[in-house]
Chains A and B, each alone.
Chain A
Amino acid sequence: MDDLLARTAPLGIRPLPAMARFMLQARPATLAGVPLGIVLPPACRATEAGGRAALWLGPGAYLLRTTPADGPALAAALEQALAGQAHALVEVSDRLTALELAGEEAAAVLNAGCPLDLDLAACPVGFCARSVLGKAGILLWRTGAARFLLEIERSFTPYVHGFLAEAGREFGG
């Protein structure tokens, strides 16, 4: 594992610090006016404001990300707003790790193992989707024209790192 991580040095692949994360699920109508501080995104999109982000995972299913410090406040606000309404809020902060992939060839490197069409027309900034990278599942979020954020199941992190580092080698990464 260590040498996998060592190969990761290159430009563009950066592990991101710990975050608070929640899975929020309910019937879509229930979530319409939920006080997140951000607008819940439409299908296959993520929205972000004030350090909080919501990523669409499916109808009525979102991954919420915020700073560790803001996590309890966010959870409390949601539970308060949704009290009495059927919903599920589950903390998954430690289930996932995140890394950022940036650079001109970021999409090409991702396409080494991810079959999504990452052309800006098909996958604009703000696009998010669950997909695969090689043999690992990923949640992909395009945060810039040449910048992606990946959410990875914790134990798949070394694999995803190693895979991206290997795929990035030809670009000097």
Chain B
Amino acid sequence: MSQALRTAEGGRIDRANPLGFSFDGRSYRGFAGDTLASALLANGVHLLARSFKYHRPRGLLTAGSDEPNALVELARDAARCTPNLRATQIELYEGLRARSQNRTPSLAFDLGAVNDRLAPLLPAGFYYKTFMWPKAAWKRLYEPSIRAMAGLGRAPTRPDPDRYAQRYAHCDVLVVGSGPAGLAAALAAAESGARVILCDEQAAFGGTLLAEDEARIEGGSAEAFRAASLATLAAAPRVRLLARTTAFGYFPHNMVGLAERITDHLAAPDPRLPRERLWQVRAREVVLATGAHERPLVFPENDRPGIMLAEAARVYLTRYGVRPGTRAVLATAHDGAYRTALALHRAGVEIAAIADLRGTAGGAWPAAARDAGLPVRLSTTILGTTGRRRVARVDLARLDADGRCGVVEPVPCDLLLMSGGFTPSVHLFSQSRGRLRFDDTLQAYLPDTPAERTHVAGACRGLVALADVLADGYAAGAAAAQAAGCNRAPSARPFPVTARESPAGGMLGALPGNRPGARAFVDFQNDVTAKDLALATREGFRSIEHIKRYTTTGMATDQGKSSNMNALGIVADALGSPIPAIGLTTFRMPYTPTSFGIFAGAARGDLFEPLRMTPMHAQAAALGAVFEDVGQWKRARYFPRAGEDMAAAVARECRAVRSACGLFDASTLGKIEIVGPDAATFLERLYVNAWHRLPSGRCRYGLLLREDGFIFDDGVIGRLATDRFHVTTTTGGIGRVLAMMEDYRQTEWPELDVWLTATTEQWAVLALQGPRAKDILAPLVEAVDLAAMTHMSLAEGRIAGVPLRLFRVSFTGEMGFEVNVPASAGAAVWEALMAAGAACGLTPYGTEAMHVLRAEKGYLVIGQDTDGTVSPDDAGLGRMVARGKPDFIGKRALEAMAARPAGGRQHLVGLLSETPAQVLEEGAQIVAETDGARLGHVTSAYYSPTLGRAIALAMVRDGRARLGERLRVALPEAPAREGHAVRVVAPVFYDPEGARLDG
């Protein structure tokens, strides 16, 4: 198809650069500089979409990001497929393929359009009313059908192959919007020496200047001014210009989220480029120059293709060289329509009528229209339109002095333009929690008191005249720069403008003469009509917030840009209250829909989360280890040999530790070095245990509580010297333990001379556990008297040529050592130990065997056997509490607990199922055999290869008084009393005397 509606010349398109594209499989031609919308219009295509609820044929309403109707799907390939894009924002490129949405089987013939005939059955809130009976049908019939019908585009099902970038940025002045106000603001701020970011959602900077063909600024054309201003800004070293960048969210402390589209407009994007980028801009001052949106008029059948906003039509003509129709009717309550009529008239479009609702239209533009001989009809309303896939006729009627409609006058046309005036775009200002006020003269909400360091300039605060807008922007930019601390005042710049008097007028609400049974659309994207709003008020809704949720007006992806003010007008009319009394709904981010990709950024695949690996990871991997995620760490869970499943591998590893020796990578254990003359005092105040008398070279198991007396963390602490301790914490607890310690050190006990150093990653830790441990270690260590090292001792020396901190400690119940070496030596020492231990049957074991071994000994794991409500006594560790100490964290709480009546608390106990092989389920409820009373839950459960039976640890109410008692462990699928029978036993299953620790 040829571009029949393209003007012979003019517009900002590059006529030397024709492009081919397709829509719904049909090929068309356009030019570089076109949007998909303008190119389709040039080809005479108006039917672009089907509406959300009624599947009504829809075309373009606007020429910008406020477009509610023309949502299409863009597909580069099967995976690069983006639904719900506004055709008005899609820049044309060679080979672009777009598809319409929400239609079956085709845009021209859509089965879903049956909803349009059923409209009387689908009023506002119909789903609250209609699908109530029969109840069972909701799940099987109604909900699936509604889900199938709901929504517009289809989300792609394949992983997104594109990349998304993120960037933090700082500036003195962020200017949002590059229309005349924004450009002037950026010029002033840049001249003040400020660091400036100017962003605009469009591909070209300039906003309304891009379609300004009449006014002259500073003696030249608007385009000359725009080009010169941009050249100045581009040359300024501290100015960053971001085109195709939407400020979508205004967050606290002047953090503004920008979404930059980088490759969507390119036919063949450089694969190195991200598709989009999230900018998180921290601006000292923000200038909002976000302009205004034209409002539609609310009259019956105002939604047909070929019905659009008057200013949008002028933009298509002047900016894109497209005549949006051949015979136009303009319906207006604003002088702007006259300007459009004149422009269309000059371009050869027949003006069939300008129907002005107002009784007079005395401005410069109406006068010019009359002078040009255009047919102006005052006091005229629209009663309806006809035309199935494109408007074909408009029914006009004169209003008499009392507002009654006269005779219907049908006027044939293929283009109906409407203008209800302009709504300032206060979205970002409102998002920032700035207060709005209703301006009676302008009949608009305007920014009032900002909540952030925000300046507002131009049309978004109700200014209309170009000269005023430029001056306002310049002043706002200068003020913002000064507030940001830039002292160089910009030169005075008056911005002389020659232009016709600015258009004025406007209305809110529905036009008079709404026929019964006809639908006048208010929210085009959510298919909300004036009648729906009236119905809501009849049903008793008063607040606009409730009416919004009931009717869904303003809740579509366009955030009600074109509909909110008309909805307010209709509700105010229906309720007989002034608009400010109805209120205004809250604007929320994002301003326009934003890709999820930018929020994920690089956080996908291997970069989704840091994968932390220990220094011996490669060694474990080479041994065939199966790894598990422990927080961000990858830990070896078990080391299966050929033919072994997990149970077999774990059983073998456990037996090796008990009979010979095992090697375990304990590097992830948290470590803190606490140094200073007051180090022992510091520990004394933190931990429940006593530390002053712990000699150098000895270790102690430390228990750390919170202020509430419950267990927070645990670990072995070794004293290296009088003033130096090597503290270990749980793998997951290191962050919060270090933070807690620093908090106390800095804020509670600043008088102590003690300092903390995180050393988790300084040391590789190899746990050598089992009766042969000493034999394996002996030939490798230097300067350490192994024979003299008893349980819970430590020594410093060397191993395999590197520095060594050796702890004789055990988390298995066997004699064992924890070999600490500098992380870079971990792998070599692992290899050395493996080689030295080969003859003794040294076996690497993983976290699973470690868990089994420690459970056999009743050693608890913080966070598994405890849950933040377990006191030392509950855990059977009451004897560790040094009650004679003057204070420690949690002491007062323990005293309070002790003062309460005894009994009722849960104790850590062991459980043996009566079916020995039955491993209980961790987390399972434990109930009394007699009455099913809930007594606690299983915290750890394993099969113990050593004992040849299942064992479990559990928290059971008054557990220590129940030793020997028979209880039941509930099964998920069976009544409580039919659970497994278990016996309560002491929580130490193996070597209760601890004889094996001594080797």
Once the chains bind, are B603 and A134 in contact (CB under 8 Å)?
yes
> Across the two chains, which residue of chain A brings its CB closest to B604?
A166
The smallest C-beta distance from B965 to any residue of chain A, in angstroms, reads: 46
How distant is the Cα of A122 from the Cα of B610 in the complex, in angstroms? 29
Chain A, range 92-111, C-beta contacts under 8 Å to B: 92-96, 108, 111
> Chain B residue with minimal CB distance to A162?
B607
> Is B252 located at the chain interface by the 8 A CB criterion?
no
Please give, as numbers and ranges, the residues of chain A lying within 8 Å of B513 by CB-CB distance: none
B170 within 8 A of A: yes
Q: Mark A134-165, 1 if CB is under 8 A from B, else 0.
A: 11100000000000000001111011001100
List 20 contacting pairs A-B, 8 Å CB cutoff, sorted by A: A61-B755, A86-B677, A88-B676, A93-B822, A94-B761, A94-B823, A112-B602, A114-B168, A115-B282, A116-B168, A119-B195, A122-B170, A153-B761, A154-B615, A156-B610, A156-B612, A158-B613, A166-B602, A169-B163, A170-B273
Contact assessment for B609 and A135 in the assembled complex, using a CB-CB cutoff below 8 Å: yes
Judged by a CB distance under 8 angstroms, whether A18 is at the interface is yes
- Which A residues touch B900, using CB under 8 A? none
Residue of A90, A108, A167 with most chain B CB atoms under a 10 A cut-off: A90
Once bound together, how far apart are the Cα atoms of A159 and B605, in whole Å?
11
**Does chain B have a CB within 8 A of A50?**
no
B272 within 8 A of A: yes
User: Majority SS of interface residues in chain B?
Assistant: mixed
CB <8 Å contact, B166 and A91: no
Contact A169 B170 (CB under 8 A): no
Which listed residue, B165, B168, B753, B762, touches A94 by the CB 8 Å rule? B762
B170 contacts which chain A residues (CB < 8 A)?
A: 117, 119, 122
| A94 touching B822, Cβ below 8 Å | yes
Q: Which of B273, B611, B762 has the most CB of A within 10 A?
A: B762
A14 within 8 A of partner (CB): no
Question: Which chain B residues border A43 with CB–CB below 8 Å?
Answer: none
Q: Which 5 A-B pairs have the closest CB atoms?
A: A88-B675, A88-B755, A86-B753, A155-B612, A159-B610
Task: Give complex CA distance A108, B615 in Å.
Answer: 32
Q: Are A112 and B165 in contact (CB under 8 A)?
A: yes
What's the Cα separation between A113 and B607 when bound, in Å? 12
A172 interface hit (Cβ, 8 Å)? yes
A54 CA to B950 CA, complexed, in Å: 56
Within 8 A of A (CB), among B325-350: none
Q: Is A26 an interface residue (CB 8 A)?
A: yes
Q: Are A26 and B755 in contact (CB under 8 A)?
A: yes
Tell whether A8 is near chain B: CB-to-CB under 8 Å. no
The answer for the CA separation of A91 and B754 in the assembled complex, in Å, is 16
Task: Name the B residues within 8 Å of A117 (CB-CB).
Answer: 170, 282
Contact of A158 among B611, B676, B760, B761 (CB under 8 A): B611
Contact of B607 among A92, A95, A166 (CB under 8 A): A166
Per the CB 8 Å criterion, the residue count for chain A at the interface is: 46
Report the separation of the CA atoms of residues A162 and B282 in the bound assembly, to the nearest whole angstrom. Answer: 26
Check if B411 is an interface residue, CB within 8 A of chain A: no
Bound form: Cα–Cα A153–B170 in Å: 27
Chain A residues with CB under 8 Å of B282's CB are: 115, 117
Report how far A25 CA is from B822 CA in the complex, Å.
21
B614 within 8 A of A: yes
Q: Is A1 among interface residues, defined by CB-CB distance under 8 A?
A: yes
Name the B residues within 8 Å of A89 (CB-CB). 675
**CB of B673 closer than 8 Å to a CB of A:** yes
- Nearest A residue to B752 via CB reads A86
The CA of A111 and the CA of B281, in the complex, are separated in Å by: 11
Q: Are A136 and B610 in contact (CB under 8 A)?
A: yes
Please state if B675 and A113 are interface contacts (CB–CB under 8 Å). no
Q: Which residues does B use to contact A, with CB under 8 Å?
A: 163, 165-170, 195, 272-274, 280, 282, 601-603, 606-607, 609-615, 633, 673, 675-678, 753-755, 757-763, 822-825
Interchain CB contact under 8 A, A94 and B824: yes
- Residues on A with beta carbons closer than 8 Å to the beta carbon of B677: 86
Query: Assuming the A-B contacts A88-B755, A95-B761, are A159 and B823 also in contact, with contact meaning beta carbons closer than 8 angstroms in the complex?
Result: no
Q: Which residue of B lies closest to A111 (CB)?
A: B168
Do B602 and A1 have beta carbons less than 8 Å apart? no
A52 within 8 A of B: no
Complex Cα spacing A111 to B169, Å: 7
List which A1-46 residues lie within 8 A (CB) of chain B. 1, 3-4, 18, 23, 25-27
Complex-state Cα separation, A153 to B758, whole angstroms = 10
User: A61 CA to B610 CA in the complex, in Å?
Assistant: 27
Contact, CB under 8 Å: B757 / A167: no
Could you tell me the distance between the alpha carbons of A92 and B756 in the complex, rounded to whole angstroms?
12
Chain B residues near A154: list those with CB within 8 A: 615, 761, 823
Q: Which residues of A contact B758 (CB under 8 A)?
A: 95
Bound-state Cα–Cα, A155 to B609, Å:
12
Q: Are B272 and A170 in contact (CB under 8 A)?
A: yes
**Of the residues B163, B606, B762, contact of A95 by C-beta under 8 Å:** B762
On whether the beta carbons of A25 and B755 are closer than 8 Å, the reply is: yes
Kindly list chain B residues whose C-beta atoms are within 8 Å of the C-beta of A112.
165-168, 601-602
Give every chain B residue within 8 A of A122 (Cβ-Cβ).
170
Minimum Cβ distance to chain A for residue B455 (Å): 21
Closest to B238 in A: A119
Contacts of A135 in B (CB 8 A): 603, 609-610
**Chain A residues positioned under 8 Å from B273 (CB to CB):** 170
The answer on a CB contact under 8 Å between B676 and A87 is: yes
For B750, the closest partner residue in chain A by CB is A27
* Bound-state Cα–Cα, A23 to B757, Å: 7
CB distance from A17 to the nearest CB of B (A): 12
A contact residues around B823 at 8 Å (CB)? 94-95, 154
Out of A111, A159, A172, which one reaches B167, CB within 8 Å? A111
How far is the CB of A134 from the nearest CB of chain B, in Å? 6
Q: A134-B601, A159-B610 are in contact. List 16 more A-B contacts (CB 8 A).
A: A4-B606, A18-B824, A86-B676, A86-B677, A86-B753, A88-B755, A90-B673, A91-B762, A94-B763, A94-B823, A112-B167, A113-B166, A115-B282, A116-B168, A134-B603, A169-B272
Task: Name the residue on B nearest A115 (C-beta).
Answer: B168
Considering the complex, which residues of chain A in the window 114-137 have a beta carbon less than 8 Å from any beta carbon of chain B? 114-117, 119, 122, 134-136
Contacts of A86 in B (CB 8 A): 676-678, 753
